[in-house]
Structure 1
Amino acid sequence: MFDGTVAAVAVLAGPEDRLLYTNSAFARLFGARRNGLPAHAAFPDSDGYRFLAVLDSVRATGRARQVVGERRTDPGAPGQARHFVYSCSPVTTAEGPGILVLAMDTTAETQTLQRYEALVSAVSQMVWVRGADGTMEELVPGWEQLTGSPWHPRADEGWYPRIHPRDREKLSAAWRRAADGGDRPGVFEATFRVRAGDGSYRHLSTRSVPVLRDGRIAEWVSATADIEDAWGTRLRERLLAQVAAVSGTDLPEAFAEVVDVVVPELTDACLILLLSHDEWPLPEHAGVTARRIASATRPGLPAPPALRGQRLAVTPAVRDVLVKREPVTFRLEPGAPVPPGLIPTVSERWLRASGATSLTLVPLIVDDLVLGYAATSSNGDTPIPGPAETELLREVLHHAQRPIRRVLDLQRARRTALGLQRAHLTEPPAVRGATLAARYQPASSTGEIGGDWYDAFTLPDGTLVLGIGDVAGHDLTAATAMGQMRSMLRALAYAGGSEAPPHEVLARLDQVSAGLATAPLATALHAALRRRGDGTWLLTWSSAGHPPPLLVPAGGDARYLPGAADPPLCMASDLARATHGHVLRPGDTLLLYTDGLIETPSAPIDEGQRRLAAEATLCRRRSLPDLLRILQGLSDHRDDTALLAFRADGEP
């Protein structure tokens, strides 16, 4: 019955274990053996003593033995080794007690296993197997070297306690999705953090593949790699790119984008505090304060306190951080008070309520100027940041200096332009028989610096000259051109005197501006008012592409004075211009304004004009300063606005 089997079979019997039988499979695996010889003569191979020892053990104990072995088919030949597994079992033969030897060639399987072990050993990965019962066996070790703890066969006792608390639920959910795939379970892939032996957390990447037997998952084969260095490099590159793309146009807006980059990637919460000075080093004795301008917290924490301009006097502890220009981390014990003087009181209360475990102060430096500092915290089960995490946070915040510098440059240019504008926008003169008021409001955006202007002065004969205009552009160049054009118009009007009609004055201004290349484009409205004996005022005006004057009569609805606007200045200086006229009666109000008051991106300009006229009608009995304040509230503040109002006295 053994002659044709694929298993190698031999039978030995008698006190000398004489060889009674071998089949052809045995001869192929071990070579031809002569029957009838004692075992020691039938197996004279150099390693035959191992086999003979097994025979002696089986005969002595009466118990079967299984052995894994390796040999060469021809010990003298250079052929490759053959691998096999054999068992020796006691049997009864016609010649008395004997031993049945069964052997199987496992060369192919052994070579496959050797190749697999060599492959996984060549890469820096842990390889492990998880059985259907949940027990885990480590094939290629590495867990103890990483964590300092020995391998444990149960995940809930070995792995789970060392996984980062905020990664546990995500990891469990991913495993359930892979394992609950029904007849077609999926591959499990996840990246998570594990606490290393030094207490820090490192990112690991795991890929597990199910092994199916009879349509069921028999086990999972998994490879786990430490990817901390690669993960840190990718995170650093991504965060630096994000913070470099900050586009806010003022410091609160820009820093609000910065804190959204670092939370929750690098910290649980971040608060930006700016100093109240712009000089360095910090004055020794003068008081310096820091103001909260931006904050963010990760999901799951209490909302941060509202930003209401809370200030904090800079204490010696904060001053030391700013002077040394190095981050400092303060550990916070549960229930203990936050070290005083590091952050405003409202933020101290928030730290206690949110279970903060640490507070890190990071100086904010732009071009060797310390603007303030960032206060970041770890909360709840988040580990306290180590040197590597703190250094990455410092680098990301420092990398924000490029967009912050751009905002600072815009602010400086804006302050210069606003100073230039306000130097020209003087208070209207006192005029007998009338009241004057003016109002200017810059755009809300830091990057928008407009060229709006107004003017009011009297000629020697008492004629009142009014002017208003808008130079194209939203930068310092526009503000400079505004000052030049306003000054030129004032000089031309004064030199022309009361006899020069407004359209001639604008025509001269157009010629001079074009010749000197003062501005690429500008609008202007130039008007003259002369008081008559009956208490009325004769208004004459000319418009170069400017919105029409608004008349708010003492009784009745406000209306725009008729008269088409001529082309703007600096376009075609040889075009003819026109002068228009109207009589203002006692109690009438004349309003001159720039287009920022009536233009919005979401509505046509005529809708803005209707809204302005309606509001002016409702407020016509208000004092001129109140009227201008109310009307300026109609603007969306995307552009700067200038308003100039004239009201004839009620008495002749």
Structure 2
Amino acid sequence: MRRTGDQVGVPELEPEVFDSAIVAVALTAGSDHRLVYFNEAFQELFGTRPEGVPAREGFPEPTAARWIVMMDEVFRDHRARQVTSPRTTVGTWPGAPGGRHFVYSCSPVVSRQHGPGVLTVAVDTTRQVEAARRVEHLSEERHEALQRYEALLSAVPQIVWLMKPDGAITELVRGFEEFTGSPWRPVIDEHWLSAVHPYDRRKLAKAWNEASGGDPSFFVCTFRLRTASGEYRHVQSRAVPIVRDGVTVEWIGATADIEDQWRNRLRERLLARVTTVTAAADVPQAFAAVTAAVVPELTDACVICLLPSPDVAAVGEGLTATRVASTAREGLPPVPPISDLPYGIGSVVQRVVDSRRPEMLTFPAGRAPAGVLPELSMEWLRTARATSLTIVPLVIDAAVVAYAVAVGCADSPPPGPADLALFGEVLHEVREPLRQALELQRTRHTALTLQRALLTPTPRVPGAELAAHYQPASRTEEIGGDWYDALVLPDGTVTLTIGDIAGHDLEAATAMSQLRSMLRVIVYDRRGTHSPARALSRLDRVTEGLGIAPLVTAVHAGLTPRPGGGWHAAWSNAGHPPPLLLPAGAAPRYLQSAHADLPLCVAPQLPRTTCHHDLSSGDILLLYTDGLIEVPGRDLSDGMAELAAHAEAARADGATLTELCARLLAAVDDRRDDAAVIGFRPLPQVLTAG
């Protein structure tokens, strides 16, 4: 390439190389476009023109004005241009043939003899245009195919080449050696194809075979070509066959660098894909959307590992990570299943975390250095014949919260700087939704910790079996409002409470802890006979006065042993689902109240009702939250019927009360809400000798 003034990057050529070319070629010099060279094919198409005169004088016909304007633009900004719709010669110049159709392109060039100028290449399309006119009566599909064929007759003049049917190829406009760092080879062979990206060779061969096989048609293929620096850039080759007497005598084509356009389109696609992260319900789902977005366009496989937050990490222990998402391209072994087990990170990842800078490792196929990923992932790297690992930290709010590992496999080259920059851009784009997902996860962890700390084991009750079970929601945001409690009073009365606070967050979990504690105080410090309705009324007034919660439903029950055996149950229901009774010798039924009391925090001044029922030995009384019966899109009565059926089936199987409670929670497949259940069963009275 010659560097003259602002002509850097413009091809330098000797025009005589085009003497025998079958396409029309003309060379002009200077800003006035003096015609300094044209070959025989040009003369046949446009007639003899005077050399050495400006183009405006040598081509006075009005139809040449657009060509001259195009040459002005090419000479000014050094960018090639083309006209792909056929033009027609009118024959106004002496000796010029009329009625000939052609397409043409203009490229900036520099010649040693004439300096900067413009190279015009015109392709005679008369035969194709006339053929198209002759077959206008054919189907519309055939007509559109011909139009596409004509539109592609002119190739982008970057690296222009001419190829014979036997594979011999000539570079008409040089640029291959400068682009690839390798000399031009006169034959398409395996050495020539070695500059093509390994993953694109099959695609390139297939596209060529389809274009050249049978009736030759235009050829177009986008692939990656190795540059002189060793990196790969996307190029696009276009070629059209030259047919004479029904025989393809040669192909003329061009190969242009389209890396910038390709990368811009890829960036748009990737950023469009990662918008799904904003809809992610939890951290693993959010990170899975990221890995799915970058595979296979940027990397063969991608793994994301989550680091513990500072408030969760154990003090004094080495840093650990948990693999939360992984995706591999088609053709690689299936990725290992996700595991919640943490693993100790190695020195490489520690450097990345400390420096907050990406780090790349390259190694022989299948021989990744130990300790970078968990052993299960390392085994996958060996099977997939991994050759490179690029570790990229994900920084949110000045802290490294996770790191992504881009994996190159087999003969795939490591990602280049542009790939890493785009990968980093994708990770940067998802920082805000990931921050929200991580914050939601931390809130969930705190709420669960608080809730489980308060949901203490049920006490031992002489003469009865008592069990309870709690299960958080399967969705991250639904956590924190349900609770149960059981308390044995000094007189032997057992109190059971089940409740649900409006809201599913840390605030709801905090309110739950306050209500639970206050009800315990109210019940334990009662005056006179225990009355569930009186206890809930007092709790309602306190909750309303202190503004602890917006809305609370609850069932509070007191169970006292009867002198002759069995237990007496008294309960008050504040807008909660009714208790479920499984009589020892009858079908399950719900204990519906004749009068429905309002939830707490609605009207504290209204009186509340206490209901009564005697429990015999073997009866089971269940209090539960609505997470066991509410299913989106289904009637509440259906959920209640299913709960009763599951409870009856568990009892028929001989399940203990603890097993029965666990089975009721496990029966809900997609739990959108957290759920709790507490059960009470009187035991047969044991008679002792007096």
Q: Does 1:644 align with 2:644?
A: no
How far apart, in 2, do the equivalents of 1:327 and 1:573 lie?
Answer: 61
SS in 1 for 2:395: strand
Alpha-carbon offset, residue 640 of structure 1: 0.8
Task: Compare 547-556 and 119-128 and name the one that shifted more.
Answer: 119-128
Alpha-carbon offset, residue 389 of structure 1: 2.7
CA displacement 1:386-426 (0-9 Å, x = unmatched): 33333433443354433332222112211222233234333
Q: Does 1:80 align with 2:57?
A: yes
Q: Is the 8 A contact 2:107 2:157 kept in 1?
A: no
How far apart, in 1, do the equivalents of 2:547 and 2:318 lie?
Answer: 49
How far apart, in 1, do the equivalents of 2:313 and 2:542 lie?
Answer: 49
Q: Is the 8 A contact 1:318 1:341 kept in 2?
A: no
How far apart, in 2, do the equivalents of 1:431 and 1:349 lie?
Answer: 53
Alpha-carbon offset, residue 130 of structure 1: 4.6
In the other structure, the counterpart of 1:256 is 288
The 5 A counterparts of 1:212-223 are: 220-223=251-254
Alpha-carbon offset, residue 194 of structure 1: 0.9
Letter in 1 for 2:285: E
Alpha-carbon distance change, 470 to 498 in structure 1, aligned in 2, over 3 angstroms: farther
SS in 1 for 2:335: coil
CA displacement 1:283-304 (0-9 Å, x = unmatched): 8x74344333322211111222
Aligned sequence identity (%) = 48
How far apart, in 2, do the equivalents of 1:111 and 1:596 lie?
Answer: 77
In the other structure, the counterpart of 2:513 is 483
Q: Is the 8 A contact 1:343 1:375 kept in 2?
A: no
Q: Is the 8 A contact 1:502 1:540 kept in 2?
A: yes
Letter in 1 for 2:622: L
Letter in 1 for 2:291: V
The partner residue of 2:359 within 298, 317, 328 is: 328
SS in 1 for 2:393: strand
SS in 2 for 1:619: helix
Alpha-carbon offset, residue 468 of structure 1: 1.0
Alpha-carbon offset, residue 125 of structure 1: 2.9
The 5 A counterparts of 1:83-102 are: none
Letter in 2 for 1:378: G
How far apart, in 2, do the equivalents of 1:231 and 1:592 lie?
Answer: 62
CA displacement 1:35-69 (0-9 Å, x = unmatched): xxxxxxxxxxxxxxxxxxxxxxxxxxxxxxxxx98
SS in 2 for 1:162: coil
Alpha-carbon distance change, 207 to 155 in structure 1, aligned in 2, over 3 angstroms: same
In the other structure, the counterpart of 1:600 is 631
In the other structure, the counterpart of 1:541 is 571
Q: Is the 8 A contact 2:365 2:410 kept in 1?
A: no
Q: Is the 8 A contact 2:301 2:329 kept in 1?
A: yes
Q: Does 1:610 align with 2:632?
A: no
In the other structure, the counterpart of 1:49 is none
Say how many residue pairs are matched: 560
How far apart, in 2, do the equivalents of 1:475 and 1:82 lie?
Answer: 80
In the other structure, the counterpart of 1:550 is 580
Letter in 1 for 2:472: P
In the other structure, the counterpart of 2:662 is 629
Letter in 2 for 1:330: L
The 5 A counterparts of 1:17-166 are: 71=50, 80-81=57-58, 105=95, 116=106, 125-130=158-163, 135-156=168-189, 160-166=193-199
Alpha-carbon offset, residue 380 of structure 1: 1.6
Q: Does 1:303 align with 2:334?
A: yes
Alpha-carbon distance change, 82 to 510 in structure 1, aligned in 2, over 3 angstroms: closer
Which runs of 5 or more structure 1 residues have no equivalent in the other structure?
Answer: 1-67, 84-103
Alpha-carbon offset, residue 188 of structure 1: 3.8
Q: Does 1:519 align with 2:549?
A: yes
Alpha-carbon distance change, 197 to 215 in structure 1, aligned in 2, over 3 angstroms: same
Q: Does 1:362 align with 2:396?
A: no
The partner residue of 1:229 within 254, 260, 280 is: 260
Q: Considering only aligned residues, what root-mean-square deviation do their CA atoms show, in Å?
A: 4.0
Q: Is the 8 A contact 1:459 1:498 kept in 2?
A: no
CA displacement 1:547-596 (0-9 Å, x = unmatched): 21112233343332233544434445566643322101123221111111
How far apart, in 2, do the equivalents of 1:634 and 1:507 lie?
Answer: 34
The 5 A counterparts of 1:134-533 are: 135-156=168-189, 160-179=193-212, 182=215, 187-209=218-240, 220-243=251-274, 245-246=276-277, 247-275=279-307, 278=310, 286-309=317-340, 312-334=343-365, 337-459=367-489, 461-494=491-524, 497=527, 499=529, 501-510=531-540, 512-514=542-544, 516-533=546-563
CA displacement 1:433-492 (0-9 Å, x = unmatched): 333222222113222223001122245544332221111222223223333443444455
Q: Is the 8 A contact 1:355 1:380 kept in 2?
A: yes
Which runs of 5 or more structure 2 residues have no equivalent in the other structure?
Answer: 1-46, 61-93, 109-117, 122-155
TM-score, scaled relative to structure 2? 0.71
Letter in 1 for 2:179: L
CA displacement 1:478-520 (0-9 Å, x = unmatched): 2233334434444554565454643444445445545555434
Q: Is the 8 A contact 2:105 2:120 kept in 1?
A: no
Q: Is the 8 A contact 1:259 1:294 kept in 2?
A: yes
SS in 1 for 2:448: helix
How far apart, in 1, do the equivalents of 2:304 and 2:388 lie?
Answer: 16
Letter in 2 for 1:389: D
Alpha-carbon distance change, 476 to 289 in structure 1, aligned in 2, over 3 angstroms: closer
Task: Compare 457-466 and 540-549 and name the one that shifted more.
Answer: 457-466
SS in 1 for 2:194: helix
How far apart, in 2, do the equivalents of 1:425 and 1:397 lie?
Answer: 40
Letter in 2 for 1:126: I
CA displacement 1:74-117 (0-9 Å, x = unmatched): x9x9993489xxxxxxxxxxxxxxxxxxxx94699999899745
Alpha-carbon distance change, 137 to 282 in structure 1, aligned in 2, over 3 angstroms: farther
Letter in 2 for 1:255: F
Q: Is the 8 A contact 1:279 1:369 kept in 2?
A: no
Alpha-carbon offset, residue 180 of structure 1: 5.8
CA displacement 1:121-145 (0-9 Å, x = unmatched): 7987333445566554444332222
Alpha-carbon distance change, 163 to 121 in structure 1, aligned in 2, over 3 angstroms: farther
TM-score, scaled relative to structure 1? 0.74
Q: Is the 8 A contact 2:345 2:373 kept in 1?
A: no
How far apart, in 1, do the equivalents of 2:298 and 2:490 lie?
Answer: 70
In the other structure, the counterpart of 1:583 is 614
Alpha-carbon distance change, 282 to 364 in structure 1, aligned in 2, over 3 angstroms: farther
Alpha-carbon distance change, 318 to 488 in structure 1, aligned in 2, over 3 angstroms: closer
Q: Is the 8 A contact 2:242 2:249 kept in 1?
A: yes
The 5 A counterparts of 1:1-20 are: none
How far apart, in 1, do the equivalents of 2:287 and 2:190 lie?
Answer: 44
Alpha-carbon distance change, 561 to 147 in structure 1, aligned in 2, over 3 angstroms: same
Alpha-carbon offset, residue 333 of structure 1: 1.9
Q: Is the 8 A contact 1:463 1:498 kept in 2?
A: no
When Rg is computed on C-alpha atoms for both structures, the one with the higher figure is 1
Alpha-carbon distance change, 498 to 137 in structure 1, aligned in 2, over 3 angstroms: farther
